[in-house]
Amino acid sequence: MSSLAVRKAAPAAGTTPGTAQGPPLRRRIALIPTITLLLGAVYTLLPVAWVVIASTKSGSELFSTFTFLPGTGLMGNLKDLNAYRDGVYWKWMGNSALYAGLGALLSTGVSAFSGYALATYRFKGREAIFNVLLAGVLMPPIILAIPQYLLMAKAGLTDSYLSVLLPQILSPYGVYLSRVYAAAAVPADVVEAGRMDGASEWRIFTRIAMPMMIPGMVTVFLFQFVAVWNNFLLPYIMLSDDEKFPITLGLFTLLQQGNSQPALYTLVITGAFLAVLPLIALFLVIQRFWSLDLLSGAVKS
């Protein structure tokens, strides 16, 4: 009986009395990253929540005391936005879809070709090219805006769709990610086996390498689509015809006109809310292709 009582009274191995679930201080410290992430999420999502709620308010509700309660003016705002200049807002949305969709698709293709070549082939100057790409990743886009405008003006392409599309095709960050992912996802032995079987380099790339790189290419497409969709500076410099404006530049012109016509503020807020929806839909549609291996590969390299 005494030995049984001793066994019951003895603490579990690796613990101290009163701390069977681990030291309280360590548990509190472990909560710090979670709390930080929650605060970051609130900080990021709060403006989005404000836009969603404000888009439901009429002009009188918007400029009165603001509360986080939905208003009654959403349908009226949508009707006014649709009627503004015969629906020019939807023209801006279509332009953004063209710039972002086609630009991201072309950029993904160029990134895939370039990244695969840098990862697979050994040639003189390969590291120098890669270092230049890294410099391009670190360079702010605003530095290149004026030189790009001068080049387009020299070619007579300013105020055209191509003036916004062409500079978006080459993405140093996309090439960098593609190179990292191709090096991690496409084994050199598989490429060599294809060559030994007599396959051409193009066939090896399209039939062997590309299927392995699809998760990474979807990631590059997503990053580039979001970057082009949200781009403001390049269209602002290149375009003067508001029929070619993307949604970012179109909403900016509406906001400027709102200084003299406050009623347009509701259209700006409603338009901003609608402009976020395609990005959310894109994330939901292609999230199954998302690959964390791309980020882990970038850390390992």
pLDDT > 50? residue 299: no
CATH code at position 96: 1.10.3720.10
Residue 26 lies in a domain: no
Report angle CA 265, 267, 268 to the nearest 5 degrees: 65
pLDDT tens for each residue of 135-191: 888 888 788 888 889 999 999 988 999 999 999 898 888 999 999 889 888 888 888
Residue 59 lies in a domain: no
pLDDT > 70? residue 8: no
Host domain of residue 275: 77-300
Q: In this predicted structure, what is the pLDDT of residue 39? A: 92
- Alpha helices in 55-170, H assignment, sequence order: 59-62, 74-83, 88-120, 126-138, 141-155, 161-169
* pTM attached to this predicted model: 0.80
Q: In this predicted structure, what is the pLDDT of residue 216? A: 86
pLDDT tens for each residue of 185-239: 888 888 888 888 888 888 988 888 888 888 888 889 999 999 999 999 999 999 9
Query: Residue 141's closest CA among 170, 113, 121?
Result: 170
Tokens of 5: 């009582």
Residue 104 lies in a domain: yes
Residue with the larger pLDDT of the pair 47 and 261 = 47
pLDDT tens for each residue of 286-295: 877 764 444 4
Burial 70-83 (b: 16+ CB within 10 A, else e): ebebbebbbebbee
Q: How many domains does the chain have?
A: 1
Residue 56 lies in a domain: no
